[in-house]
Amino acid sequence: MRSAATLHVTNGDSVLYLFKKAGILGTHVAWRDPLSEGPVPPAPSLEATSAVRARYLSERGYGNPIKVTYEFEKRDAQMRKASEFQEIVLWFEHDLFDQLQLLQILTALDDMELEPGRVSIIQSDQYLGSMTAEELSALLPRRRPVTPATSKSARRVWQRFTSPSPEELAASAREDAIGLPFLRAAVARLCEEYPLVGDGLSRSQRQALLAVAQGPAQTTELYRRAQAREEATFQSDAAFARMLEDLCDPRAALLSHGDGGFELTALGRRVVAGDADWLETYPIDRWIGGVHVTRDRVVRWDDAAGAFART
């Protein structure tokens, strides 16, 4: 039995609050998952991916394992009921955080084989959570149906993102995706999260070090400085704080933390100056989508060439 209600899916809790404040009725689902960090390997179902993600996020300290798993299961169960709704409206922004979520959701909905016209999309180049209730409401009449071509484009890039080989991802950074005007730039930004040729840092890590180079400071101020360098902010303050901890790893510390805040170590100063490669001493063990980057399998991004380079 199909409900006349609408299923609204968006990126996080701040938008859920605005839905209520704006009187946007229906069932509201927040995706929340920061897919740009941690493993997202190929999986046969949404639930299988969620099991991997829940384990990673709890191990990373984002929440109690039982609660994190429950939240994923609750979210996925709501999505599995999509066919019961008259319409599914997707509300997402232009940044990498949102665009990866959008790929996953469009692929999951495409698997459900809903009839054409049931899914619509709102894409904004402004941050939804920073809008007023009135501004958010004004976006609803501007939603557009998701076409089969858009779903196909989303599936192709999602498969490239979850692949254990990154090479095809670079192609998506050069291609326009039908119905997804912000995806190309978001994928290009994702490529920059791989260790860069030369210093071994991701762009986010380099921006954090440059923020510290402006003068010792605590996490909140460093986050403000680093995010000012982004064209479209996607990293949460919690993710940034964990990244700073990683950069303090005593095996090859680039930062130290004292009463005055974070400071560059001697190695950190050399890496920032371009005189050292962090990965010569740091045993990297990091996932980006379906790619596991380790000391034995380092995949670097060559920004000048716009391509991946294996070492």
Q: Which residues of 86-114 are buried (b: 16+ CB within 10 A; e: fewer)?
A: ebbbbbbbbbbbbbbbbbbbbbbbbeeeb
Give pTM, 2 decimals: 0.95
Calpha distance 153→231 (Å, rounded): 24
Q: Helices 266-273 and 203-213, interaxial angle, to 10°?
A: 110
Q: Are strands 85-93 and 38-39 parallel, antiparallel or unpaired?
A: unpaired
- What digits encode the pLDDT tens for the residues 53-95? 999 999 999 999 999 999 999 999 999 999 999 999 999 999 9
Q: Read off the pLDDT of each residue in 8-30 and give the average, rounded to a whole number.
A: 95
For residue 160, pLDDT over 70 is answered with yes
Rounded Cα distance, 246 and 243, in Å: 5
CA distance 156 to 134: 35
- DSSP 8-class letter at 29: E
pLDDT for res 311: 61
Task: Give the Cβ contact number of residue 61 at 10 Å.
Answer: 10
Calculate the average pLDDT of the chain: 95
Cα distance between residue 182 and residue 176, in whole Å: 9
CA-based end-to-end distance of the chain = 56
Q: Are 247 and 209 in contact (CB under 8 A)?
A: yes
Chain centroid, CA 278 distance in Å:
24
pLDDT band (50, 70, 90) for residue 153: very high
The residues near 231 (Cβ < 8 Å, ≥ 6 apart) are 185, 189
Dist. CA 15–CA 129, nearest whole Å: 5
**What is the pLDDT averaged over residues 189-196?**
97
Q: What are the residues whose beta carbons fall under 8 Å from the beta carbon of 218, sequence distance 6 or more? A: 261, 262
Both tokens assigned to 85: 């709704």
Whether residue 4 has pLDDT greater than 60: no
pLDDT of residue 168: 87
Give me the torsion for CA of 53, 262, 207, 305, rounded to 10°: -90
Whole-number Å distance between alpha carbons of 232 and 192: 13
- The answer to whether 104 touches 50, Cβ cutoff 8 Å, is no
> What type of residue is 186?
A
pLDDT reading at 1 higher than 70: no
pLDDT in tens, 198-239: 999 999 999 999 999 999 999 999 999 999 999 999 999 999
Q: What is the pLDDT of residue 41?
A: 96
Structure tokens at 281: 């001493």
Nearest of 243, 308, 252, 304 to residue 278 by alpha carbon: 252
With contact defined as beta carbons under 8 Å apart, do 284 and 295 qualify?
yes
Res 266 pLDDT > 90 = yes
- The domains located in the chain, with CATH, are 3-189 (3.40.1360.10), 197-283 (1.10.10.10)
More confident residue, 161 or 2: 161
What pLDDT shows up at residue 44? 94
Three-state DSSP class for residue 89:
strand
Mean pLDDT of 170-185: 94
pLDDT band at 3 (very low <50, low <70, confident <90, very high): very low
Distance CA 93, CA 97 (A): 8
CA distance 159 to 280: 31
Check residue 278 and report its DSSP letter.
G
Structure-token match 């899916």, residue found: 9
